Structure 1
Amino acid sequence: MVIKSLHLQVQEMRQSFFDEGYLNSQYTQLEALAKDTNPNFIIEIITLYFRDSPNGARSNRGTHDYQMHSSVRKQQRQASYNIFVICIGASKVFKELQKANTSLKASNTEGIKVALGDIKKEHSKLRAKFETYFQLMRQAGPTDVAVNSS
């Protein structure tokens, strides 16, 4: 009974990601890929995302002269981060990345600073949500439990 309740909580939490606009259909596609091959794939890929993604934003934090970095390097870093965010379906983070990219293209230093803060905020919210979600998933265990038909 407790396991069934935990699985229901996992489902409700997952749905809240979509209802609140944190995730989109890309995440559903990742889940479908993982189901047959590696049930821990989602946890692994999202954990990698959170482990690696702050590095790009951190390297810009505190830098007041944004022109010190070449625009090509920034755009490459931005593009690779965007691709990963798109792959996991992190909608809110992606929207903030688009704002930053617009400010970058316009050489709007203040806009970039604001956008980096907003990216960090959305990234932190998503990370906290996923940490709770994954913890609940681990507690609930696998969803495909064999049923005794006799």
Structure 2
Amino acid sequence: MLGFGADQLLADMNRLLAFLFHQGVLDEQYLQLQQLQDESSPNFVSEVVNIYFHESEKLLRNLRSLLMDIEFSDYKRMGIHLNQMMGSSSSIGAKRVRNVCVAFRAACDYNNRLGCLRALELLEHEYCYLKNKLHELFQMEQQRILAARVRYPMQN
């Protein structure tokens, strides 16, 4: 008999995922990413997402640095960073982050510094929300794996 907590953790994970899909935080690309995970690469999703987090944090720092420059006028360079963020967000199914990048990119296209500043704030907010929720999901997954390994003797 499997550990009692594993089933509950799986149900909690499914509820959290459903909530994130319902909110539009994630899209079907995240499910496709999950389908690539198997016994030979049991941490595939968390590894890919952690690479995304690492790269995204660099991109967010670069965007903030560009916008904080008093003499800022390099909207083209900002657009390049945003394209990278949009692409990587799309690849993991980070729908709301990607959508904010699209709006941010539009502000860049119009050389709208105030719009870019607002979009950056929203992008950082959405990114942090995504990161917190996916970390929560990955922690539940690790707990579920541990709980599934616990075996209880059968009661007669």
Output the TM-score relative to the length of structure 1: 0.86
Q: Which of 62, 72, 86 is equivalent to 1:59? A: 62
Q: Which of 4, 15, 30 is equivalent to 2:7? A: 4
Q: C-alpha displacement at 1:76, in angstroms?
A: 2.4
Q: C-alpha displacement at 1:60, in angstroms?
A: 2.9
Confirm or deny that 1:38 pairs with 2:44: no
Equivalents in 2 of 1:54, 1:65: separation in Å? 23
Name which one, 1 or 2, has greater alpha-carbon Rg.
Answer: 2
| Structure 2 segments unaligned to the other structure (5+ residues) | 150-156
3-state secondary structure, aligned to 1:135:
helix
Equivalents in 2 of 1:36, 1:80: separation in Å? 30
Q: Map 1:90-109 onto structure 2 (within 5 A).
A: 90-109=94-113
Equivalents in 2 of 1:5, 1:27: separation in Å? 22
Which residue does 2:135 correspond to in 1? Answer: 131
3-state secondary structure, aligned to 2:36:
helix
Which residue does 1:148 correspond to in 2? Answer: none
Residues 64, 115 of structure 1: CA spacing in aligned structure 2 closer, same or farther, 3 A cutoff?
A: farther
Q: C-alpha displacement at 1:102, in angstroms?
A: 0.1
3-state secondary structure, aligned to 2:25:
coil
Q: Which runs of 4+ in 1 moved over 3 A?
A: none
**Letter of the aligned partner of 2:93 in structure 1?**
G
Residues 63, 57 of structure 1: CA spacing in aligned structure 2 closer, same or farther, 3 A cutoff?
A: farther
**Letter of the aligned partner of 1:87 in structure 2?**
S
3-state secondary structure, aligned to 1:35:
coil
3-state secondary structure, aligned to 2:140:
helix
* Structural RMSD (CA): 2.0
| Structure 1 segments unaligned to the other structure (5+ residues) | 146-150
Aligned length: 143
